[in-house]
């Protein structure tokens, strides 16, 4: 069985990889001197097993060809660990991450260094394969998690960015966050990003027809996630239609395990189009009467329109026991149980201003516990064992 596949005409590097495997790694190696990047299916036709675990794009493979192959394999075999042999220049590393390459190996690496990296790649393959199977055994479509609130100012973007960062630990590079607050979205600032491309590029005709083009428009974040940020100017938002948003989310759900969608306040047409694609809806309310009444009205409208996803999660954000309201008051008003309570926190406000989600900087804070509980609700392992706890009363 060929557990490892090497593409390289470099016989010296091939010998070093074989030495590394001889040190105790099970599974054979198949080497190909060349694979046509325009027709990568040729590689699969020549393999003596259906699914290798690690693909090594070795020395003397042109960089453009290597990135093209990696992008194709990332879409067709997302569990596959792709290693690129090359120098770790920062600009080059960014291109490699966008193409789905998991690691970069120096061309001068010795067998011991190669073996360590291959072991890590195999562990990564095993983790992604296990998660992929647990995710949706009857469907290849990822979870689409929409974060909604009829009222603004309730911390919706903070919740969305932290969900994405938290899921980045469950499924590294298998998460994309999309900012559908098209006029005034703050995902870019919430993640301290300066994106080269935005939703405007992602809904173009070339991207809607080719998922490889679409992925090139995503921005890589250090938290092992991708981001698709809002247009640079409010005027650009006027040219984006609900139909384009529907197509965009369909494409992303086919490529990613998790698609986190931050939406504009209220129920605009683009938000309703997103809601129809969601497998999960996170409803966020603050602990004040206008927010709670707004959520009640929004849920009533959506119930009448039959647009509520099967799985919903009500989040009480900036919760405060001294606000004059109780959890029971909130639940009685909205007609649904509160699932997660996130207390008011200076650490969260500070992290938002820094552009580093609180789940990313590792801070200890009561709000972190609530955010982790929310992220857990999308972990396949939790969902498989905790359905009876899906809606359980929280304490503020």
**pLDDT (0 to 100) of residue 128:** 64
**pLDDT (0 to 100) of residue 136:** 45
Of 86-95, 208-217, 372-381, the one with minimum mean pLDDT is 86-95
Q: Kindly state the helix (H) or strand (E) to which residue 12 belongs, with its residue range.
A: helix 11-22
**pLDDT (0 to 100) of residue 81:** 87
Give the residue-averaged pLDDT of 334-349: 88
**pLDDT (0 to 100) of residue 215:** 85
Band of pLDDT at residue 395, cut at 50, 70 and 90:
very low
Question: How far from 213 is each of 35, 144, 199, 237, CA to CA, in Å?
Answer: 21, 21, 13, 21
Beta strand 219-221 pairing with 225-228: antiparallel
Q: Token pair of 217, please? A: 């428009």
**pLDDT (0 to 100) of residue 396:** 47
Give the residue-averaged pLDDT of 160-170: 93
- The pTM of this model reads 0.65
Where b means 16+ CB within 10 Å and e means fewer, 220-250 reads: bbebbbbbbbbbeeeeebeebeeebbebbbe
**pLDDT (tens digit per residue) in 115-156:** 888 888 887 777 666 555 444 444 468 999 999 998 888 999
| φ/ψ bin of 24: left (φ > 0), alpha (ψ from -120 to 50), beta (otherwise) | left
Band of pLDDT at residue 191, cut at 50, 70 and 90:
very high
**Structural domains in the chain, sorted by start:** 2-135 (3.40.50.2300), 143-389 (3.40.50.300)
Q: Which has more pLDDT, 319 or 126? A: 319
Of 99-108, 132-141, 198-207, 229-238, the one with minimum mean pLDDT is 132-141
Of 25-39, 103-117, 314-328, 348-362, the one with minimum mean pLDDT is 25-39
List the 311-319 sheet strands across, edge first: 219-221, 225-228, 175-180, 258-263, 143-148, 280-286, 311-319, 340-343
Of 35-49, 66-80, 106-120, 267-281, the one with minimum mean pLDDT is 35-49
**pLDDT (0 to 100) of residue 138:** 41
Where b means 16+ CB within 10 Å and e means fewer, 368-382 reads: bebbebbbebbbbeb
Q: With beta carbons less than 8 A apart as the criterion, state whether 226 and 199 touch.
A: no
Q: With beta carbons less than 8 A apart as the criterion, state whether 311 and 280 touch.
A: yes
**pLDDT (tens digit per residue) in 47-85:** 655 568 888 988 888 888 888 888 877 777 777 888 989
Rounded CA-CA distance 391/341 in Å is 12
């Amino acid at each position: 069985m060929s557990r490892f596949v090497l593409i390289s005409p470099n016989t010296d590097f091939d010998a070093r990889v074989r030495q590394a495997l001889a040190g105790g790694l099970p599974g054979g190696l198949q080497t190909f001197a060349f694979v046509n990047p325009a027709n990568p299916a040729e590689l699969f036709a020549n393999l003596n097993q259906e699914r290798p675990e690690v693909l090594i794009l070795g020395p003397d493979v042109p960089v453009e060809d290597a990135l093209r192959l990696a992008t194709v394999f990332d879409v067709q075999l997302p569990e596959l660990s792709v290693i690129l042999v090359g120098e770790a220049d920062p600009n080059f590393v960014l291109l490699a991450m966008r193409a789905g390459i998991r690691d970069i190996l120096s061309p001068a690496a010795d067998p011991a260094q190669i073996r360590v990296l291959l072991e890590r790649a195999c562990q990564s393959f095993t983790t992604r394969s296990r998660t992929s199977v647990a995710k949706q055994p009857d469907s290849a479509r990822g979870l689409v998690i929409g974060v909604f609130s009829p009222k603004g100012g309730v911390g919706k973007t903070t919740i969305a960015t932290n969900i994405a960062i938290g899921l980045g630990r469950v499924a590294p590079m298998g998460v994309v966050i999309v900012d559908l607050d098209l006029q005034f979205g703050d995902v870019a600032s919430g993640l301290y990003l300066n994106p080269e491309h935005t939703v405007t590029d992602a809904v173009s005709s070339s991207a809607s027809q080719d998922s490889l083009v679409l992925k090139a428009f995503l921005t890589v974040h250090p938290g092992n996630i991708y981001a698709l940020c809002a247009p640079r100017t409010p005027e650009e938002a006027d040219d984006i239609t609900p139909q384009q948003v529907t197509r965009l989310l369909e494409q992303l759900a086919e490529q990613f395990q998790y698609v986190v969608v931050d939406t504009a306040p209220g129920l605009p047409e683009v938000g309703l189009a997103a809601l129809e694609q969601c497998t999960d809806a996170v409803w966020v309310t603050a602990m004040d009467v206008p927010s709670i009444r707004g959520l009640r009205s929004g849920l009533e409208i959506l119930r009448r329109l039959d647009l509520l996803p099967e799985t919903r999660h009500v989040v009480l954000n900036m919760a405060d026991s001294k606000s004059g309201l109780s959890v029971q008051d909130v639940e009685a008003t909205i007609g649904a149980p509160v699932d997660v309570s996130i207390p008011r926190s200076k650490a969260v406000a500070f992290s938002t201003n820094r552009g580093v989600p609180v789940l990313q900087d590792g801070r200890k804070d009561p709000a972190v516990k609530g955010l982790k509980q929310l992220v857990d609700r999308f972990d396949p392992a939790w969902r498989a064992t905790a359905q009876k706890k899906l809606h359980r009363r929280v304490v503020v």
